[in-house]
Amino acid sequence: MRDVVFVDGVRTPFGRAGEKGIYAGMRADDLVVKSIRELLRRNPSLPAERIDDVAIAATTQTGDQGLTIGRTAALLAGLPRTVPGFAIDRMCAGAMTAVTTTASGIAFGAYDVVIAGGVEHMGNHPMGSGADPNPRFVAERIVDPAALNMGNTAENLHDRFPGITRERTDAYAVRSQQKLAGAYDAGQIQPDLVPVAGKKAGSGWTLNTADEPPRPGTTMEDLASLRTPFRAHGRVTAGNAAGLNDGATAALLASADAAAELGLPVRMRLVAYAFAGVEPEVMGIGPVPATEKALRQAGLEIDDIGLFEINEAFAVQVLSFLDHFGIDDEDPRVNRYGGAIAVGHPLASSGVRLMNQLARQFEEDPDVRYGMTTMCIGLGMGGTVIWENPHHERYGQDAA
């Protein structure tokens, strides 16, 4: 098995879904194309013909997110026609699965270099659009009806863990906004953003260079005034959950040998990954068993992880993970740049955003050897990837 390395990752700024969002009227596949082109521009030593495959994820695979988007995006981006491509769907973990699937091919020897990423234009394709859940799910009690609504699954998680109060989730959400604002001020987000030109009715052309969803001045008082749309007197609000967003991501992966041959940078090494299933009606707990499984595979303990990038689909989901592993709500290892509550969560694209942020934190903190990207996944799953920091003095040595 060959070592797999994360060479580079980029993303578009994330926008708010809907007719007022920065990507209203724009195609999803064009967002992917811009990300792929930026990867090639940033890595000029990579001949385009050396790319062995392109894996792009989308949750709603229809319209401008359909037609085997990995292949169509590769062609639209100007890659040689000899470069194949395919589409992936694992809901929120689409881009994460695009990475792990192609990484497996690299480790096995089928690939040397790949592009993996994801896109979700939730303005063009609202969550669940065109879906037709089989009535047996409910009629035969295969899943609780709440499993088909992500907000309801978050309320169920609150029920399971009553110590995670609305006040605690709101406090977590405020910190996410503050951390993202701090990361922007420090220039830690901008290097991996692909500027995207867009045209809006009545305002002409604009160049989008920053994320649209953040609300850096958010306070506890602001969040306390929000309604709970999924349950009367509930705890999940628009303030302590990720929004509905548009955006795309793309990452360049390679074998360690190919990276050295082509003069490509090594920003992380993949150590282990795992996916696990849980009860669909509490899908937010999915990162817990996925992380336990990945740690076993890697021969590591939770205390060996020096940085965590946890997708903030809902604050309660992150907090349930932290409680399980005995990690404090304000632990500085967790989501240093803020998370999806602030920056947005365009479903299938988010996995690579987590990786981009972890790779940049590795560069800033060579004392950290291992980091983790993890997320919950709709219909009751979780996914976790463990990475090693190439700047650490013991990089590549045995974990013991």
Length of the chain (residues): 400
Q: Note down the domain range covering 351.
A: 4-123+243-388
The CA distance from 368 to 129, in Å, is: 42
Name beta bridge partners: 220: none
Rg of the Cα atoms in the chain: 20
Q: Tell me, what's the pLDDT at 340?
A: 98
CATH number for position 114? 3.40.47.10
One-letter identity of residue 182: G
Residue 151 lies in a domain: no
> Residues with catalytic annotation?
92, 345, 376
Q: Tell me, what's the pLDDT at 143?
A: 85
Under 8 Å between Cβ of 56 and 156: no
Task: Decide: pTM greater than 0.75.
Answer: yes
Task: List average pLDDT for each run of 10 residues in the chain, which is 400 residues long.
Answer: 97 96 94 98 98 97 95 98 98 98 98 98 90 88 85 96 97 98 98 91 85 96 96 96 97 98 98 97 97 98 98 98 98 98 98 98 98 97 98 84
Residue 133 lies in a domain: no
Residue 137 lies in a domain: no
- How far lies 103's CA from each of 28, 42, 99, 196, 370, in Å? 24, 21, 6, 28, 18
Under 8 Å between Cβ of 341 and 179: no
Q: Tell me, what's the pLDDT at 201?
A: 67
Q: Tell me, what's the pLDDT at 281?
A: 94
Residue 190 lies in a domain: no
Q: Which of 200, 362, 243, 252 is nearest to 11 (CA)?
A: 252
The CA distance from 109 to 332, in Å, is: 38
The structural domain count of the chain equals: 1
Residue 337 lies in a domain: yes
Torsion angle in degrees (nearest 10) through CA of 362, 289, 348, 83: 70
Residue 230 lies in a domain: no
Residue 102 lies in a domain: yes
Residue 217 lies in a domain: no
HEC string of the chain equals CCCEEEEEEEECCCEECCCCCCCCCCCHHHHHHHHHHHHHHHCCCCCHHHCCEEEEECCCCCHHHCCCHHHHHHHHCCCCCCCCEEEECCHHHHHHHHHHHHHHHHHHCCCCEEEEEEEEECCCCCCCCCCCCCCHHHHCCCCCHHHHCHHHHHHHHHHHCCCCCHHHHHHHHHHHHHHHHHHHHCCCCHHHECCEEEEECCCEEEEECCCCCCCCCCCHHHHHCCCCCCCCCCCCCCCCECCCEEEEEEEEEEEHHHHHHHCCCCCEEEEEEEEEECCHHHHHHCHHHHHHHHHHHHCCCHHHEEEEEECCCEHHHHHHHHHHCCCCCCCCCECCCCCHHHHCCCHHHHHHHHHHHHHHHHHHCCCCCEEEEEEEECCCEEEEEEEECCCCCCCCCCCC
Name beta bridge partners: 307: 371
The CA distance from 310 to 287, in Å, is: 9
HEC string of 227-265 equals CCCCCCCCCCCCCCECCCEEEEEEEEEEEHHHHHHHCCC
